[in-house]
Amino acid sequence: MGLCFDGIERLSKEYSEELKQNPIERELMMAWMGAVQQIHRQNMKVNVVANKFYSMLREDGLSEEKMIAPRMKSEKSCC
């Protein structure tokens, strides 16, 4: 949804005449803006929790190599 909204913002700058002839309804634009903001806020919360979890794992001595290596080994052995 954020990509769509970004695309519309770019369209308004690059194709302003076309948008004047075929405007986006205000209600739709407001709904998109609200949804994009809500997704952004939720992503910020998820990032905070993921960073805390990552920090906890590092404090417990689990290095990045130990977290990535088992997954990579299992991916290689599948084929």
List pLDDT tens digits, range 1-34: 666 767 777 777 777 777 778 777 888 878 888 8
Could you give the residue ranges of the DSSP H alpha helices within 1-79? Answer: 2-14, 16-21, 26-59, 64-77
pLDDT at residue 43, as a whole number: 93
pLDDT at residue 74, as a whole number: 58
Positive or negative, the Cα torsion across 72, 77, 78, 79?
positive
pLDDT at residue 52, as a whole number: 94
